[in-house]
Structures are given as C-alpha cells and as structure tokens.
Amino acid sequence: MFKNPKYSCPVVRWQRRKEARPGEIIDAALELFCEKGFAGTRMDDVARRAGVTKGTVYLYFKNKEALFYALVNEMVVPQVERAENMITNHAGSAASLIEVLIQQWQQNIIKTKLSGIPKLIISESGNFPELAKFYIETVIQRGRKMMARVIEKGIERGEFIKCDADYVSRVLLAPMVFTAIWERSLASLDNETYDVEKFFKIQLEIMLHGLTKTN
C-alpha cells in the first residue's frame, strides 16, 4: 500500500494495536470529522464514538493530525490503488475504462462515509493547510495522474482526439468531486430530486462525445 512517508504514523504504534481497535477508532474519526469538522472534533469525542478510553486513542495515535493521516492512508489510498490496478489490468477500450472508474467512484465514495472527505478538506484547508497539502499530494494529484493515463491510452490507441490529458482529467474529476460535496451539504435542502446515477451518465456521455474520434 502507498503511504506518503512524510505523513505516515510510526510503525511501532501499528504493531502495538489489538486487531480491530485501530480500525474502529479511524472509523469513528471519519464520522466525526465529517459531522463536526476537523477543528470541531476532539480526541475525547473520537474515543467516545469508538467506545474506548481517551488513553486508548492516544496509545495508537499521538494526536488528531496523526489520526487524520492514518484515516487517509487506511481508507482513501486503497480506493486509489484499486483504481490504479484496474487501469493496469483493463483490456478493453479507454472509454469503457472511464465508465468503470466513474461507476467505482459512485459505489465506493459517493455511497459510503468517504463521500464527506472532499467537503471536509475544502472547508478546513484554510485553518489546516498541512492536512490539505497532504491530501492533495497523497490522493488528488495521484488521482489526476491516474485519469490522465487513461486519456493518454485512448489517444495512443486512436480512440480519442489529441488533447491535454492532464486538463481533461481535471474536467472529468471535477463533477465527481462536486457530487460528493453536494451530497454532504446542499442536497438535503434542495426540494428538487438530484439523481446521482443520471448525473454521472450524462457527464460520461458528454465527455466521451467530445473525446471520441470521428472518421
């Protein structure tokens, strides 16, 4: 598993944990960070939500920042790795790969607790720039490069028109991030139905129409 060495937790801490407890603490932290924000969450809150003592939390995580880094490394990075492996092993067209990646985003991010992380990062970036920088380096930049690889494959195979793969990847990813933020902020206040599956389907149709080479 990829771990940014600059932000990884000491290995000795991981070796001291009981099998399930670290995961329960991280899961509790994710829920609270998304509900209260990073600044509004205390280690006491995490301990209470996880059903452990505050001392137990500190046994595994030296501070709230270390808990956040562990959360990203243990819960978000594996999703990126899964997508990277799909790109490496995919035998079909670049267009079909993009479709699969968008479906996976919807299934593994939008429909899970991880959907709260984009909003969390954006809202807390001003007060906690180091956390935001870590997330950019560990997740966002890696995701952009991953999607750019797919676009480049399509260009090389003659499926897609020649384009700036880096910027096209940004255009592809932006609506996906927007959806996660919307679902965690304004969706509950909007009296009009927002069909996420339909949104992604239309996004895909428009993007592929613009990218696909015509004879």
pLDDT, tens only, 141-175: 999 999 999 999 999 999 999 999 999 999 999 99
Q: What is the pLDDT of residue 3?
A: 54
Over residues 185-214, the mean pLDDT reads 91
Share of the chain above pLDDT 90, in %: 86
- What is the residue extent of each domain of the chain? 11-211
The CATH superfamily holding the domain 11-211 is Tetracycline Repressor, domain 2 (1.10.357.10)
The dihedral of CA 177, 183, 186, 191: what is its sign?
positive
Q: What is the pLDDT of residues 26-63, one digit of tens each?
A: 999 999 999 999 999 999 999 999 999 999 999 999 99
For the cut 50, the answer to whether the pLDDT of residue 10 exceeds it is no
For the cut 80, the answer to whether the pLDDT of residue 178 exceeds it is yes
Burial per residue of 145-174, b for 16 or more beta-carbon CB atoms within 10 angstroms, e otherwise? ebbbbbbbbbbeeebbeeeebeebbebbbe
Over residues 103-108, the mean pLDDT reads 92
Q: At 161, phi and psi to the nearest 5?
A: -70, 160
* DSSP at 52: S
Q: What is the pLDDT of residue 13?
A: 43
For the cut 70, the answer to whether the pLDDT of residue 17 exceeds it is no
Over residues 114-121, the mean pLDDT reads 96
| Run of H or E residues at 34 | helix 21-36
15-19, 98-102, 111-115, 195-199: the lowest-pLDDT one: 15-19
Residue 193 pLDDT class (50, 70, 90 cuts): confident
For the cut 50, the answer to whether the pLDDT of residue 133 exceeds it is yes
Q: Calculate ∠ Cα 93-95-97, nearest 5°.
A: 75
Spatial CB neighbours of 60, under 8 Å, sequence gap ≥ 6: 13, 14, 16, 17, 21, 22, 25
- Each as own residue / partner, the long-range contacts of residues 186-191 (CB below 8 Å, 24 or more positions apart, any chain) are none
Q: What is the pLDDT of residue 194?
A: 86
Share of the chain above pLDDT 70, in %: 90
Query: Mean pLDDT across the chain, nearest whole number?
Result: 90
